[in-house]
Amino acid sequence: MPSTPFANAVRQLEKAAEAIDLNPGILAVLKNPIRILQVSIPVEMDDGKTKVFSGYRVQHNDSRGPTKGGIRYHPKADLGEVKALAMLMTWKCSLMNIPYGGAKGGIIVDPKKLSHRELERLTRGYVQGLNGFIGPNRDIPAPDVYTNPQIMAWIMDESSRMLGYNVPGIVTGKPVEIGGSLGRHYATAQGGIDVLDEVCGLKGVKCDRNSRVVIQGFGNAGSFSAKILYQKGYKVVSVSDSQGGIYNPKGLNPSEVEVYKKEHGTVVGFPGTKKINNKQILELPCDILIPAALDNQITQANAGKIKAKIILELANGAISPEADEKLAKRNIMFIPDILSNAGGVTVSYFEWVQNLQQFYWDEKEVLQRLKKVMQAAFRQTYETAQLHKTNLRMAAYILAVSRVAEAMKLRGH
């Protein structure tokens, strides 16, 4: 079998299916998305010429509720990857026990090469192509790679124009002014740290506020994690971005690093630190390692060199399947992506709930509810791991796939 993202996603599903002796008919259904839509989007460019872009929306499974998942704008977006990510969303929503199935969308485009107006026309064209396919009770998009709250605002507006009334619940990750949720912009980091708090509370886990933390990536997930952990008293000793990393064993103040990055375009060069590269950062002496940038960072090649005791996998797919086995053998606890980074989709769910009831919560309420969902998901995953004598990733899949299978059985699929 080739090692494509979709083939890997199916392999992971098969492993979980084997562990729970899943009905072969249900497995066969879960291996494929229930619906795929491909759209051609003609866009009038600023020079008056027309360009046609290709876009997709994949709905993997809707047994537990309407499908949910982000939209990415990327020159290398492809259907196989979108299918894999849609399946991952089914498991993530199921694991968090929120009433959604999984979906994902993508447009093949380099958004950095488009003007603001061209990007708006592209987004509105995509929404027109998705007419009838998405909706607050059907399929709810959100931001992903290279899409942002402004793009979500256009999606909401175009959908509302087509329907003739406001439909804020058709998309999440919107600006707060038009129905976005407070706390959404740092929910992924916050949710990951809520899980980390649970891990640190486990018997036998050595992790306290003096623990040294290393974070690869200083974007949304990485920089908010760094700031929240620093505020909690942890010692953040290293962070990085695409240009490299910085290291100070005595600790860094992430808010100061952020100011430096705004001025210089990178964290590299921050006073009092040693420059390291993005490979070295993963192997630094530390207690907690947080990959928060790219996939496939901890692999068979470097899993034996990791010194952290706990890995919080905030970036999707940061640890390869082969590395999972090596880390488990070395007793390094890794908290899988579908659990660690599920704070984002959880607060997206809260945003949708607030939109549907037209009643908005304050930030404290959002954070309290987020913590409750993350704590429950971690505890259930941990108990499943103990029961099946397996690692947390396998346990998360077992739980997630079982819940979807149960919903399918009950509905008679």
- Name the residues annotated as catalytic: 104
DSSP three-state, residue 306: coil
Alpha helices, DSSP H, located in 186-336 = 187-200, 220-231, 254-264, 321-329
Q: Provide, rounded to whole angstroms, the least separation between the CB of residue 292 and ligand NAD.
A: 5
User: 312, 335 in Cβ contact below 8 A?
Assistant: yes
DSSP three-state, residue 173: coil
Q: How far is Cα 78 from Cα 156, in angstroms, rounded to an integer?
A: 24
Q: Provide, rounded to whole angstroms, the least separation between the CB of residue 293 and ligand NAD.
A: 3
In the complex with ligand NAD, the residue whose CB is nearer, 305 or 329, is 305
In the complex with ligand NAD, the residue whose CB is nearer, 10 or 267, is 267
Q: Provide, rounded to whole angstroms, the least separation between the CB of residue 177 and ligand NAD.
A: 20
Q: Where are the beta strands (DSSP E) in 209-348?
A: 212-216, 235-241, 244-247, 274-276, 288-291, 310-312, 333-335
State which residue has the least CB distance to ligand NAD.
219
Q: Provide, rounded to whole angstroms, the least separation between the CB of residue 122 and ligand NAD.
A: 20
Give the largest CA-CA distance in the chain.
Answer: 65
3-state percent helix, strand, coil for the chain, nearest multiple of 5: 50, 20, 35
Q: How far is Cα 135 from Cα 172, in angstroms, rounded to an integer?
A: 11
* Tokens at 331, concatenated: 């007793």
User: 139, 68 in Cβ contact below 8 A?
Assistant: yes
In the complex with ligand NAD, the residue whose CB is nearer, 188 or 273, is 188
CB atoms within 10 A of CB 25: 10
In the complex with ligand NAD, the residue whose CB is nearer, 188 or 238, is 188
Q: Provide, rounded to whole angstroms, the least separation between the CB of residue 263 and ligand NAD.
A: 15
Phi-psi region of 5 (alpha: psi -120 to 50; beta: other; left: phi over 0): alpha
User: 44, 56 in Cβ contact below 8 A?
Assistant: no
Q: Provide, rounded to whole angstroms, the least separation between the CB of residue 311 and ligand NAD.
A: 14
* Tokens at 214, concatenated: 């290393």
In the complex with ligand NAD, the residue whose CB is nearer, 153 or 312, is 312
Q: How far is Cα 138 from Cα 140, in angstroms, rounded to an integer?
A: 7
DSSP three-state, residue 280: helix
| H or E, element range at 58 | strand 50-61
DSSP three-state, residue 290: strand
In the complex with ligand NAD, the residue whose CB is nearer, 66 or 191, is 191
In the complex with ligand NAD, the residue whose CB is nearer, 94 or 216, is 216
Q: Which of 13, 14, 22 is nearest to 408 (CA)?
A: 22
Residues that bind ligand NAD (CB under 6 A): 188, 216-222, 240-242, 278, 292-294, 314-316, 341, 344
Q: Provide, rounded to whole angstroms, the least separation between the CB of residue 221 and ligand NAD.
A: 4
Q: How far is Cα 87 from Cα 92, in angstroms, rounded to an integer?
A: 9
Question: In the block, which residue shows the tokens 């998901």?
Answer: 377
**Is 31 exposed, middle or buried (CB count within 10 Å of its CB: 0-12, 13-18, 19+)?**
middle
In the complex with ligand NAD, the residue whose CB is nearer, 66 or 69, is 69
Q: Provide, rounded to whole angstroms, the least separation between the CB of residue 105 and ligand NAD.
A: 14
